[in-house]
Amino acid sequence: MKKKKNTLNITLPEQGKVKLTIVFGDRQKGHSALYNFDKKYVVGDVTGVNLGSANDLKGKTLFISSMVTDVNPSTDWTTITYVINGEDIKTFEEETESPNDSMVYATTLKFI
């Protein structure tokens, strides 16, 4: 199983709530785990998870661990996209080492 580390600088909106969605592509299966700023674990599907207000997040970091498993017989590529407030922030792609293998994406979001 391969692991890819990423760091993303996230420019926050001037105000309002900040919501995170993680999308897995290439018809592969994935799940994520994070410890949010409310001191609660979020595990599994991350869709529209409220991270807090833009003012509260400024200067903070969030670590996310995601595993994508290759279940699509036509490709060994995995894709993960981070979405903040409905806007695609960044997509990462990586090929698994072998068919039916998994890929771990260890991503740190830095809120600026």
Alpha-carbon span 74 to 83, nearest angstrom: 26
Going by C-alpha positions, the residue among 67, 88, 87, 86 that lies closest to residue 78 is 67
Tokens 């969030």 belong to: 62
CB 57 within 8 A of CB 12: yes
Alpha-carbon span 28 to 100, nearest angstrom: 10
pLDDT of residue 90: 96
Domain ranges in the chain are 2-111
58-108 pLDDT tens trace: 999 999 999 999 999 999 999 999 999 999 999 999 999 999 999 999 999
Alpha-carbon span 12 to 8, nearest angstrom: 12
Three-class SS string for 25-70?
Answer: ECCCEEEEEEECCCCCEEEECCCCEEEEEHHHHCCCEEEEEEEEEC
11-61 pLDDT tens trace: 999 999 999 999 999 999 999 999 999 899 999 999 999 999 999 999 999
